[in-house]
Homo-oligomer: A and B are copies of this chain.
């Protein structure tokens, strides 16, 4: 008898028939004697429709109201699933974020979970009730509805799993696991059976869209085993687990890419103390996230400073930096939104030298020019021209032999 959290994404609850399928999966587990808590997303497309409705009123709807609006999506699916389970003869109850005591900070639109008072869930479980929680939403200390950002239902699921001490958190989605690369690009991409929290963290932030990054942080922090699997098959997916729990130690686990960033270069910046703060302060004040930052030393006490921002923020960031450039006496500011970031990730890199060199030589062989490089202990990222992104992914996937489970460097 285990306590299982199951999370279903928007495509899994897109209509009543699919909600019925979800109910079947839940009952399957429940009938084995397990207790089940279900976390749901809104029906596929609903959140986007609600946002676009609000945007018809104004380009920048106030985030508090947008959250109250968006939260209706998960409220709807949670109630519909509870009704479905009840109609099949099972005890079920839906809970909204505030009812499930998902307490967050005040950051509307992108709130962080502060704590979860799981008493109500636990009490319902004691009565063998199937608990259906509306994902993506919480409430702040004043009782305002907040949402957790894109993909926030994953975080709801893992955080609730942690709060109630669940034995496993199953994330049902429209893909059947985490792949060594996007199977749409790499024909021989392979499903990874086990991956560590750290690798999944890197891959999530690098473009693997399977799990929201915060959910992986939660899973790592509270050591919640996460099982990413398909809503539409019974096949095992990918286990996201602690690195120490007997994983195969591969040098590289996967290749990812992102096309949602843009590059800004501030040319001939006077190389003085405090100049970086002047460049990045106003960007931070505008709420724009900077990803990579590269500084080259140049002759004559001047340097070029290059960094990347979300592509949607490029225009605003360029305007800010042009003002900054004037103030600090830099020569020019250039923007480029035709870039892609290609990354390889793997905990095995810690103990292997030569991985970076192999990445560079592999890309060079295909005449792919590397514009920016950044690395971590378990990751190497290269920014290349957008048009080379798919080629770069395929080439690296093949160079590191990722299509074969028994890869070697």
Contact = CB atoms under 8 A, between A and B. Distances in A.
Interface of A: 16, 50, 53-54, 56-58, 61-62, 64-66, 68-69, 71-72, 75-76, 78-80, 82-84, 86-87, 93-94, 96, 98-99, 143-145
A72 B79 CA distance: 10
A245 B377 CA distance: 81
A346 B32 CA distance: 66
B53 A16 contact: yes
A14 to B, nearest CB: 13
Q: Copy number of this protein in the oligomer?
A: 2
A22 to B, nearest CB: 12
A16 B99 contact: no
12 contacts: A57-B80, A57-B83, A61-B86, A62-B83, A65-B79, A65-B80, A65-B93, A68-B79, A72-B72, A72-B75, A98-B98, A98-B143
Contacts of A54: 79-80, 83
A405 to B, nearest CB: 43
The CB with the most chain B CB atoms within 10 A, among A50, A64, A75, A79, is that of: A79
B83 A58 contact: yes
Contact of A82 (B62, B84, B96, B98): B62
Nearest to A71: B75
Contacts of A72: 72, 75-76
Contacts of A80: 53-54, 57, 65, 69
A87 B61 contact: yes
B75 A62 contact: no
Contact of A56 (B16, B61, B69): B16
A69 B65 contact: no
Contact of A79 (B69, B75, B84): B69
B53 A66 contact: no
B57 A84 contact: yes
Contact of A96 (B66, B68, B83): B68
Given A16-B53, A16-B56, A143-B99, A94 B82 contact: no
Contacts of A79: 54, 65-66, 68-69
Nearest to A79: B69
